[in-house]
Chains A and B, each alone.
Chain A
Amino acid sequence: MSLLIQDLHACIPDREILKGFSLEVKPGEVHAIMGPNGSGKSTLSKVLCGHEDYEVTSGSVTLDGEDLLAMDVDARSRAGLFLAFQYPFEIPGVSNANFIRAALQARLPKGEELDAVGYYKKLYRRMDELEMSRSFTARSVNEGFSGGEKKRNEILQLMMLEPKYSILDETDSGLDIDALKVVSQGVNAMRSPERGFLVITHYQRLLDYIKPDIVHVMVEGRLIRSGGPELALELEAKGYELTHAA
Chain B
Amino acid sequence: MSVAAPIAEPEMEKPLSPPLSSAPTNLTPDFTKLEDAPEWFQTRARAAWEEFQSLPMPGLRDEHWRYSQSKNLSLDGLHLAGETTEAEKQAAIEGSKGLSKVAARLIFLNDRLIHSQTDGLEQGVVVLPFAEALRTHGDVLQQYLMKRKADLGSEKFAALHLAHVQAGAVILAPKNAVLKAPIEIFHWVSGVNSLVFPHTLIVAGDHAQVTVLDHHASLRDEVAQSVAVADFVAGNGSHITYVNSQELADSARALHISSTTVARDARVKALQLQLGASFARSESVSDLAGEGSRSDMLGVSLPFNSQVVDMRTLQNHLAPRTYSDLLYKNALYDKTRTIFSGLINVADGAHYTDAYQKCRNLLNSADSEAVSMPGLEINADQVKCSHGATSAPISADELFYLKARGIPDQESRQLIAIGFVEDVISRLGHEELIESLDRRIEEKFARQAA
Contacts and interface: CB of A to CB of B under 8 A. Distances in A.
Interface of A: 49-52, 72-78, 83, 85, 88-94, 98-100, 102-103, 106-107, 140-141, 157, 161
Contacts of A75: 406
B406 to A, nearest CB: 4
A115 B403 CA distance: 22
Q: Which secondary structure dominates where chain B touches chain A?
A: helix
Interface stretch (B68-76, B302-310, B413-421): B413-421
Interface in B391-447: 395-398, 400-409, 411-412, 415-416, 418-423
Nearest to B405: A103
B407 A93 contact: no
Given A92-B423, A98-B415, A52 B406 contact: no
Contacts of A90: 398
B408 A74 contact: yes
Contacts of A98: 415
A5 to B, nearest CB: 18
Given A52-B400, A74-B403, A99-B402, A91 B416 contact: yes
Contacts of B419: 91-94, 140
Nearest to A89: B401
A157 B407 CA distance: 13
A194 to B, nearest CB: 18
Interface of B: 395-398, 400-409, 411-412, 415-416, 418-423
Nearest to B424: A93
A57 B403 CA distance: 23
Contacts of B406: 74-75, 77-78, 103, 106-107, 161
A77 B411 contact: no
A100 B423 CA distance: 20
Contacts of B404: 49-50, 73-74, 76-77, 83, 85
Contacts of A107: 406
Contacts of A77: 403-406
21 contacts: A74-B409, A76-B404, A77-B404, A77-B405, A88-B401, A89-B397, A89-B398, A89-B401, A91-B402, A91-B416, A91-B419, A92-B420, A92-B422, A93-B423, A94-B418, A102-B411, A102-B415, A103-B405, A103-B406, A103-B407, A107-B406
Contacts of B401: 85, 88-89, 91, 141
B407 A74 contact: yes
A228 to B, nearest CB: 31
Contacts of B397: 89
